[in-house]
Amino acid sequence: MVIWIIGLSGSGKTHLAKKIFNDLTKKNKKCFLVDGDIVRKYISFNLGYSIKDRKINSKIITNLCKFLEINGYIVICSILSIFPSHQKNNRKKFKRYIQIYLKSDLAKLIKINSKKVYSKKNVVGKDIKFPTPY
């Protein structure tokens, strides 16, 4: 099973993913937490934030989740996920796929700017459209 948590930066994706992970591991479930920021830091660190690089990063994360699913993990993934086509493919790729969308008010996220993301360029929601998932 893959639980795919999506939303804008600062919407609470990582917080929710950690909560789900902790709840499942307390029940002795074999889980793995995949966070888009961590993958970018350690696996796809050579990629930038262009649309092309974001697509590559998204595919890397999907493939990592598939690898973990094949190996018997419940995967909890927190990622921006701005490509509807990738979300659609996920529904076909994974045996069991649950998508959670954390809808947030962009103006509030920009004001809070907890990760200092919204002062940069090529920011999803500000410079790059965040398509509402279906």
DSSP lists the bridge partners of residue 74 as 31
User: Environment class of residue 110 by beta-carbon count within 10 Å: exposed (0-12), middle (13-18) or buried (19+)?
Assistant: middle
Residue in 11, 58, 78, 81 annotated catalytic: 81
Catalytic site includes residue 9: no
User: Environment class of residue 112 by beta-carbon count within 10 Å: exposed (0-12), middle (13-18) or buried (19+)?
Assistant: exposed
User: Environment class of residue 71 by beta-carbon count within 10 Å: exposed (0-12), middle (13-18) or buried (19+)?
Assistant: exposed
**Residues carrying an active site annotation:** 81
